[in-house]
């Protein structure tokens, strides 16, 4: 029983992390129709920045985390200017390649700056856990789940109830009409990218501080995020949440019992079968309007 | 009465200039390099790596550059080939193992594309990322297959042929050279077949390609298989050259690296891949700053190139050539703008339609209806196009004229019945229309900017024999024979519209009026007996419209039936036998040019009065 | 308020508009008529800053090209584009709220409630998503979305396009009451309705101005010639 609960919590917190990753690329996607492949490296970057501020600069964890998030937001703004902003009117493939270029740059920067060895990011809850029905449940994992639920609700609220969210949704469907009604597309794109990197930062700090991390931290989470978004219905917030949950349960819970050595492959195989059979997500997402 | 060709027929394939020469130059450069620097062990390895990466990138060029499939799987496929060949060579000799590995890679690629065929562009890309990650996990975990621990494999059988052992860097050079030239030769053979241009057509404008009868799924699947197979093949060779493998050789860094190689070198030619590979291999070697900050520099280059020089290094050649082209045209005094100075001749025999003299009605719709959400764009329209006539279709803006045409040609979903030569055919069947000799043009000319004029016209060919990759590689002579026949017809069409001198010029450099005529040439080059024209005079001035009218009359004289949607009243009156009027999706009346405009219902429709 | 001088619009080598000049005085409704391809939509796109142009377009003295669509909208120039183009996945209320973006925080004397008064049919479907509306309802929503800010200059592109005559009548009746006092440039192919509403009319043919004047000069014969030729 304890084994089951431990792996269940593990799965839930992993699902939460990939849901956050999914959100991080969905926000700029809504604003600009661009898929960024640099999310993984942004996630890794934030963990490294956090570790550097705490370990090398000796800052208190709360200040370090806050500063990291602010830096990440700024990095997102710069990212927008380099990719979307420099490639107005160009085919989408070219912008995606630009995001690949940025991914390369960030990855190279991290490896030059901090090297490829495992790093440690301090967290107030590190190593603390409580026992329940024979399972050791780390507080940190519950925090990740909690933060994700909060972020989901906040994002849902922002998208559905605020003017900003409304403008983003209009922009995603018909950018020209949005402009004709005064929507400031450039400003929105910049903010969207900033929020995206902020979410990456959140993910990196939360997951990086669980145990140790290295430069490959973000890649797997980003891939999971893409898969979650596809399964849940591209562009749907609720969908990403459900998709993340489904994939994490497959990998971390089901995979704890069967195919354990190959469990990382399980969500990928599921994804293939899913796309091949169903072609669209669980919820009505952007594809139902033929916008992909 | 027709015009027989009075010009010299071309002998070289469009877009396949000087392949033999270029491959020869490449081989010479490679040998020269080997002789000059091959004594140093590092350098010898690098020369071999250059050719290795070049092959992987050439495969990626076909898959991504030509076929437009955004994929992260190229490095993984190389790895699949390598590990599979290593596994197979435990029981088989090396060469059969390599062949086996190549086939396996191709099959995996093919199954993958077929499984995800309905997936959109982004999903497909993410799918390839997942595929790549799957390979990575298997390479590390599946020890019984790889024969190693965590993907580290040693003691793979080396390749030796005719007593020569190809496992040292110096001897492997000759092996890699043959492999690279082989891959380039396969590419050259493809360029002498319809494969490349049809793949580009499917990539750039799929709906139009469908209407032209190009099998888009076959194109996508075979190009992906080809690109993956090239990677798998050269990966297999690699494993028997190095006799050892490590999963990171074909990992994420190479996966991103192939993007860098083809983008930097240039996505418009296989030589871009070769150039990019040279850069990837030698620049870190020559500039130590680059080696230290390798990833950052690569990322920076990728970013800068895509922003400032999207056509890569090869693109520089294009910019230079097009400036030369412009200067040449200015010097020759030809004003490239208007098409109104043209002598319109009769339609040549080779383009004359084969007429079905039995049926008097070519095309008939019954109760055709098109709805977009709550809006009925076409309402219950029953219309007949009679054999040999020119039927005009007019109506105010929003009356549904173009939508009607789109419904007939299957571009939009519709209800109702459609029959061709008296046989009912299901709506949305582009192939049936093409087989019946029906071609269409579009409101703005849907010509392919990235193809040359000749390549564009060749797309509509009715001869679909020997058009695939297998035919190009396995039956090159039959392929070439059919190509020559196609070139002849396409050149006749270009000559007829006065564009033959621009046959090898990219369509993007043509003026609007020239593209209109090019589209017309393409429409009649495919054994066409019926033309559906959508506002062909849009954007043309009065004298240009007159010239267009003359061309249409020549087609009419040769027996081609025409349904023309337009709104220039004088133009239509001069060419149409009958005119049908639509308003708000309904057919109001059909009459002759003399009578229809006096009908008060027609005037009401245009003025919006009731 | 809106002044066009020697306006030309080219799409590559195709000249859509050629040396067009006219004015829309403040508070007037000017109709822009002409058949297919006459250049009417190109003109409106140029006024809204969506396409580059040659010549001059000034709104209250400021050149349009210097502002761009977002700023023009915030300055009070609202366009209802051809084909309605309401945002399909947003509800009626959300579409109207989108219209409010151009206010930039200012208060409008029309606002969303005002639009529901003008088009009572919309009030009954506030939470319905755009794609579920009929053509006529979509047209009313598109117009309402522009009116919600009480625009200083309203550009209407073929509001009757694709609508049944009964619906067109209803839309124009609403326009007649609502547009009093607003400066409007109304592009239409359907002449009778536009002429009944406007203070003056301009007819475009093949990109050029072929006639200008008060509605009374545009008799049926005059128009038939202009639209259909000799």
Domain parsing of chain A, residue ranges: 16-218
Residues of chain C with pLDDT under 50: 230
Which residues have CB under 8 Å from A153's CB, separation 6+? none
E-only strand ranges, B387-487: 390-394, 415-420, 423-425, 438-440
> Alpha helices, DSSP H only, in B142-205?
143-146, 169-191, 195-204
B contacts of A101 (beta carbons < 8 Å): 299-303, 306
B contacts of A83 (beta carbons < 8 Å): 303
Q: How many CB pairs under 8 A join B and C?
A: 79
C contacts of B535 (beta carbons < 8 Å): 37
Please give the mean pLDDT across all residues of chain B. 87
pLDDT tens digits along B460-470? 988 888 999 99
pLDDT tens digits along B124-134? 888 999 999 99
The residue among C201, C137, C209, C204 whose CA lies nearest residue C174 is C137
The minimum CA-CA distance between B278 and chain A, rounded to whole Å, is 19
**In the predicted structure, residue A233 carries a pLDDT above the cut 50:** yes
The pTM assigned to this predicted structure is: 0.88
Q: Is B313 on the interface with C (CB under 8 A)?
A: no
Q: Are B471 and B195 in contact (CB under 8 A)?
A: no
Cβ atoms within 10 Å of A238's Cβ, excluding its own: 14
Distance CA A55, CA C77 (A): 56
pLDDT at A13: 92
**In the predicted structure, residue A280 carries a pLDDT above the cut 70:** no
How does residue A289 score in pLDDT terms, banded at 50, 70 and 90? very low
Dihedral Cα C93, C96, C102, C107, nearest 10 deg: -70
Q: Is C94 on the interface with A (CB under 8 A)?
A: yes
C52: tokens are: 């580059």
**How far is residue B585 from each of residues B369, B472, C114, C163, measured CA to CA in Å?**
8, 47, 34, 10
How does residue B333 score in pLDDT terms, banded at 50, 70 and 90? very low
Distance CA B579, CA B519 (A): 24
The residue among B433, B403, B402 whose CA lies nearest residue B566 is B402
Site of tokens 């493809």: B190
Q: Is B444 on the interface with C (CB under 8 A)?
A: no
Q: Are C165 and C171 in contact (CB under 8 A)?
A: no
Distance CA B555, CA B529 (A): 9
Inter-chain CB proximity C189 and B396 less than 8 Å: yes
φ, ψ for residue B98, nearest 5 deg: -60, -45
Cβ atoms within 10 Å of B199's Cβ, excluding its own: 27
How does residue B527 score in pLDDT terms, banded at 50, 70 and 90? confident
φ, ψ for residue B561, nearest 5 deg: -90, 140
The residue among A81, A5, A74 whose CA lies nearest residue A46 is A74
E-only strand ranges, chain A: 119-120, 129-132, 135-138, 212-213
Cβ atoms within 10 Å of C52's Cβ, excluding its own: 10
**Of C48 and B14, more confident:** C48
Q: Are B130 and A272 in contact (CB under 8 A)?
A: yes
Share of chain B above pLDDT 70, in %: 95
> Alpha helices, DSSP H only, in chain C?
40-47, 68-74, 92-100, 111-118, 120-123, 135-147, 165-178, 191-197, 220-228
**In the predicted structure, residue A201 carries a pLDDT above the cut 90:** yes
How does residue B185 score in pLDDT terms, banded at 50, 70 and 90? very high
Taking CA–CA distances from B309, the nearest residue in chain A reads A94
Nearest by CB to A268, from B116, B133, B295: name it: B133
All domains of chain B, ordered by start, with CATH? Answer: 19-288 (no CATH), 349-607 (3.40.50.300)
Site of tokens 């190479």: B254
B449: tokens are: 């900017």
pLDDT tens digits along A6-30? 889 999 999 999 999 999 988 998 8
Distance CA A252, CA A263 (A): 7
Distance CA B247, CA B252 (A): 10
A contacts of C74 (beta carbons < 8 Å): 182
B contacts of C135 (beta carbons < 8 Å): 374-375
B536: left (phi over 0), alpha (psi -120 to 50) or beta: alpha
pLDDT at B117: 87
- Strand duo B438-440 + C2-11: pairing: unpaired
**In the predicted structure, residue B334 carries a pLDDT above the cut 60:** no
Nearest by CB to B610, from C14, C132, C165: name it: C165
Taking CA–CA distances from C228, the nearest residue in chain B reads B569
Nearest by CB to A180, from C73, C90, C103: name it: C73
Distance CA A135, CA C63 (A): 71
How does residue B249 score in pLDDT terms, banded at 50, 70 and 90? confident
Inter-chain CB proximity A183 and C98 less than 8 Å: yes
Inter-chain CB proximity A105 and B295 less than 8 Å: yes
How does residue B575 score in pLDDT terms, banded at 50, 70 and 90? very high
Task: Please state the ipTM of this predicted complex.
Answer: 0.89
B contacts of A269 (beta carbons < 8 Å): 134
pLDDT tens digits along B364-377? 999 999 988 767 88
The minimum CA-CA distance between B185 and chain A, rounded to whole Å, is 29
pLDDT tens digits along C52-105? 888 899 888 888 877 888 889 998 899 999 888 888 888 999 999 999 988 877
Taking CA–CA distances from C134, the nearest residue in chain B reads B374
Domains in chain C, number: 1
**In the predicted structure, residue A206 carries a pLDDT above the cut 70:** yes
C contacts of A234 (beta carbons < 8 Å): none
Q: Is C70 on the interface with A (CB under 8 A)?
A: yes
Distance CA C224, CA C228 (A): 6
**In the predicted structure, residue A292 carries a pLDDT above the cut 70:** no
Nearest by CB to B307, from A86, A111, A234: name it: A86
Q: C128: domain range?
A: 2-228
């Amino acid at each position: 029983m304890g084994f089951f609960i431990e792996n269940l919590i593990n799965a839930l917190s992993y699902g939460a992390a990939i849901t956050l990753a999914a959100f991080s690329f969905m926000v700029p996607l809504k604003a600009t129709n661009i898929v960024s492949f640099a999310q993984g490296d942004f996630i890794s970057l934030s963990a490294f920045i956090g570790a550097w501020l705490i370990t090398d600069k000796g800052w208190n964890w709360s200040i370090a985390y806050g500063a990291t998030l602010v830096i990440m937001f700024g990095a997102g703004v710069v990212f927008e200017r380099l990719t979307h902003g420099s490639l107005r009117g160009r085919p989408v493939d070219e912008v995606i390649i630009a995001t690949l270029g940025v991914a390369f740059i960030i990855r190279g920067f991290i490896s030059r700056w901090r090297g490829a060895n495992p790093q440690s990011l301090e967290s107030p809850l590190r190593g603390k856990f409580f026992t329940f029905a024979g399972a050791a449940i780390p507080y940190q994992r519950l925090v990740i789940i909690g933060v994700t639920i909060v972020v989901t609700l906040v994002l849902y609220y922002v998208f559905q109830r605020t003017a900003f969210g409304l403008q983003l949704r209009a922009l995603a469907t018909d950018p020209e009409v949005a402009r004709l009604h005064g929507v400031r597309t450039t400003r929105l794109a910049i903010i969207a990218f900033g929020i995206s990197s902020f979410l990456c930062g959140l993910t990196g700090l939360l997951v990086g501080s669980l145990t140790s991390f290295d430069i490959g931290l973000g890649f797997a989470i980003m891939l999971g995020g893409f898969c979650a978004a596809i399964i849940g219905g591209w562009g749907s917030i609720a969908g990403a949440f459900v998709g993340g949950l489904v994939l994490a349960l497959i990998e971390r819970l089901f995979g704890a019992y069967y195919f354990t050595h190959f469990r990382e492959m399980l969500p990928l195989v599921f994804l293939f079968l899913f796309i091949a059979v169903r072609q669209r997500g669980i919820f009505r997402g952007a594809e139902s309007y033929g916008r992909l | 009465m027709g015009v027989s060709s009075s010009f010299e027929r071309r002998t070289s394939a469009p877009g396949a200039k000087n392949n033999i020469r270029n491959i020869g130059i490449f081989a010479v450069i490679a040998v020269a390099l080997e002789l000059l620097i091959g004594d140093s062990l590092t350098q010898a390895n690098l020369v071999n790596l250059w050719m290795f990466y070049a092959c992987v990138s050439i495969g990626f060029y076909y898959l991504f550059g030509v076929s437009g499939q955004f994929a992260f799987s190229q490095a993984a496929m190389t790895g699949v080939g390598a590990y599979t060949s290593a596994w197979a060579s435990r029981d088989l000799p090396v060469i059969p193992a390599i062949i086996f590995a190549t086939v396996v890679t191709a099959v995996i690629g093919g199954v993958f594309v077929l499984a995800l065929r309905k997936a959109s562009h982004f999903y497909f890309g993410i799918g390839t990322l997942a595929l790549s990650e799957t390979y990575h996990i298997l390479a590390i975990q599946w020890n019984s297959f790889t024969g190693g621990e965590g993907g580290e494999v040693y003691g793979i059988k080396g390749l030796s042929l005719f007593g020569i052992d190809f496992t040292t860097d110096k001897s492997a050079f000759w092996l890699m050279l043959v492999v690279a030239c082989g891959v380039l030769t396969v590419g050259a053979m493809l360029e002498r077949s319809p494969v490349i241009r049809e793949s580009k057509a499917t990539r750039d404008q799929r709906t139009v390609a469908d209407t032209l009868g190009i099998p888009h799924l076959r194109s996508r699947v075979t190009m992906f298989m080809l690109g993956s197979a090239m990677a798998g093949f050269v990966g297999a060779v690699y494993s028997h050259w190095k006799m050892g493998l490590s999963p990171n050789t074909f990992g994420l860094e190479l996966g991103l690296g192939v993007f860098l190689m083809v983008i930097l070198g240039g996505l418009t030619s296989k030589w871009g891949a070769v150039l990019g590979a040279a850069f990837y291999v030698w620049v870190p070697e020559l500039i130590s700053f680059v080696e230290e900050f390798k990833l950052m520099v690569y990322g920076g280059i990728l970013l800068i190139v895509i922003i400032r020089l999207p056509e890569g290094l090869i693109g520089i050649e294009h910019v230079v050539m097009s400036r030369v082209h412009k200067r040449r045209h200015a010097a020759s005094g030809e004003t490239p703008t208007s098409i109104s100075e043209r002598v319109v001749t009769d339609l040549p025999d080779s383009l004359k339609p084969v007429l079905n003299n039995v049926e008097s009605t070519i095309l008939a719709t019954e109760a055709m209806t098109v709805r977009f959400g709550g809006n009925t764009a076409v309402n219950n329209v029953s219309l007949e196009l009679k054999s040999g006539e020119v039927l005009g279709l007019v109506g105010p803006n929003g009356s549904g004229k173009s939508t009607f045409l789109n419904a007939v040609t299957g571009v939009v979903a519709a209800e109702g019945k459609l029959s061709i030569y008296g046989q009912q055919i299901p709506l949305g069947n582009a192939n049936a229309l093409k087989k019946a000799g029906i071609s269409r043009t579009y409101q703005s000319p849907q010509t392919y900017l990235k193809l040359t004029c000749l390549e564009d016209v060749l797309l509509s060919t009715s001869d679909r024999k020997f058009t695939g990759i297998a035919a190009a590689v396995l039956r090159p002579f039959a392929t070439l024979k059919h190509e020559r026949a196609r070139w002849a017809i396409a050149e006749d069409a270009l000559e007829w519209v006065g564009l033959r001198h621009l046959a090898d010029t990219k369509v993007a450099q043509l003026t609007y009026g020239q593209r209109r005529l090019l589209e017309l040439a393409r429409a009649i080059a495919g054994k066409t007996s019926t033309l559906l024209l959508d506002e062909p005079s849009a954007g043309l001035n009065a004298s240009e419209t007159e010239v267009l009218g003359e061309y249409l009359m020549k087609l009419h004289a040769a027996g081609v039936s025409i349904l023309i949607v337009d709104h220039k009243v004088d133009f239509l009156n001069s060419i149409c036998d009958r005119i049908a009027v639509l308003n708000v999706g309904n057919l109001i009346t059909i009459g002759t040019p003399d009578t229809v405009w006096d009908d008060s219902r027609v005037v009401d429709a245009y003025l919006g009065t009731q | 308020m809106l002044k066009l001088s020697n306006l030309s619009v080219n799409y590559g080598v195709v000249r859509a508009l050629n040396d067009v000049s006219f004015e829309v005085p403040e508070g007037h409704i000017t109709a822009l008529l002409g058949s297919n391809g006459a250049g009417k939509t190109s003109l409106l796109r140029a006024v809204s800053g969506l396409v580059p142009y040659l010549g001059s377009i000034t709104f209250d003295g400021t050149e349009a090209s210097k502002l761009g669509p977002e700023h023009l909208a915030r300055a009070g120039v609202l366009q209802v584009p051809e084909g309605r183009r309401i945002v399909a996945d947003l509800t009626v209320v959300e579409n109207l709220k989108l219209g409010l973006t151009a206010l930039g925080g200012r208060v409008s004397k029309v606002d969303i409630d005002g639009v529901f008064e003008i088009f009572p049919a919309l009030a009954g479907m506030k939470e319905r998503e755009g794609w579920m509306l009929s053509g006529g309802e979509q047209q009313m929503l598109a117009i309402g979305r522009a009116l919600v800010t009480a625009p200083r200059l309203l550009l209407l592109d073929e509001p009757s396009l694709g609508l049944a005559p009964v619906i067109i009548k209803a839309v124009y009746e609403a326009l007649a009451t609502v547009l009093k006092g607003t400066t409007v440039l109304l592009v239409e192919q359907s002449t009778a309705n536009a002429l009944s509403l406007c203070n003056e009319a301009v007819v475009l043919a093949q990109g050029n101005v072929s006639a200008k004047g008060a509605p009374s000069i545009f008799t049926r014969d005059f128009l038939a010639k202009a639209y259909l030729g000799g």
